[in-house]
Amino acid sequence: MSKPFVPTWCNSPDHLWRPDRREFLFAGVLGAFGLSLGNLFKLQAAGAAAQSAPAQSVINIYLPGGMAAQETFDPKLLAPIEYRGPFSPLKTKLEGIYFSELMEKSAKIADRICVVRSMTHGEADHDRGTHNMFTGYRPSPAIQYPSFGSVVSHELGARNSLPPYVCVPSMPTNFAGTGYLGSAYGPFSLGADPSSREFKVRDGKVPATEEPASDEPAPPAHEP
């Protein structure tokens, strides 16, 4: 039996690169083309940082009772016809990945998006499942959990003088609220449908100011 791996300073998992002999030879070949070992480390570090860059913003589209998975992103090619739905599968830009025939434009950019087909919850009730998906917790009679939007508002705060948590046109469910965090971290609701011709952001208009009164006497009234 081989000895168990014991990390040391130069062989710890915290280091970006633990080269073997072949990798050292590879770095030597790169040096012949003007790329030093130090530059190689910089490129690897830059690539790792780019892959782990956090998202600047998130748009969550909540569709209660919305489109079915087998009619959109998961046609279920191998399932019986009773489960596959009425639409034909459409090949995407990714090998072995199919969308519904109604999602032709999405299929063309499938290599630029990430479809998570395994997300689910263990609740038998849709209402409890909605709570689980908005908060990350199962419902509890003892505590009201905050939604992930309120958690973001609490942890990150406003940016560029904009609300950190916005709901369009209004809060879609009570589970999208603040829970025990308090109303200060609640969503800013637009209060109207942006597709409406009369759309205006609620409370977004600066109130009109009255002109200051003049000290000059009023002109005399004109007699007919």
pLDDT for the residue numbered 185: 94
pLDDT for the residue numbered 178: 95
| 108 part of a folded domain | yes
For residue range 45-104, what is the model confidence (pLDDT) as tens digits? 666 666 666 777 888 888 887 888 889 999 988 888 888 878 899 999 999 999 999 999
Count of the separate structural domains present in the chain: 3
Report the candidate in 2, 147, 174 with the shortest Cα–Cα distance to residue 60: 147
| 128 part of a folded domain | no
For residue 154, give its domain range: 139-189
Which tokens hold the place of 163?
A: 């609300």
Distance CA 140, CA 123 (A): 13
pTM, two decimal places:
0.59
pLDDT for the residue numbered 33: 47
| 158 part of a folded domain | yes
Q: Which of these three, 112, 147, 165, is where a domain ends?
A: 112
Query: Could you tell me if 145 and 179 lie in one domain?
Result: yes
pLDDT for the residue numbered 10: 46
Query: Could you tell me if 73 and 40 lie in one domain?
Result: no
| 223 part of a folded domain | no
| 151 part of a folded domain | yes
Query: Backbone phi, then psi, for 89, in 5-degree steps?
Result: -75, 150
pLDDT in tens, the chain (224 residues): 555 544 444 444 544 455 555 554 444 544 544 555 556 566 666 666 666 667 778 888 888 878 888 899 999 888 888 888 788 999 999 999 999 999 999 999 999 999 988 888 888 888 999 999 999 999 999 999 999 999 999 999 998 888 999 998 889 999 999 999 989 999 998 888 888 888 887 776 666 666 666 566 666 666 65
| 2 part of a folded domain | no
| 31 part of a folded domain | yes
| 164 part of a folded domain | yes
Residue written as tokens 């062989």? Answer: 11
pLDDT for the residue numbered 39: 60
**For the chain, what is the mean pLDDT?**
78
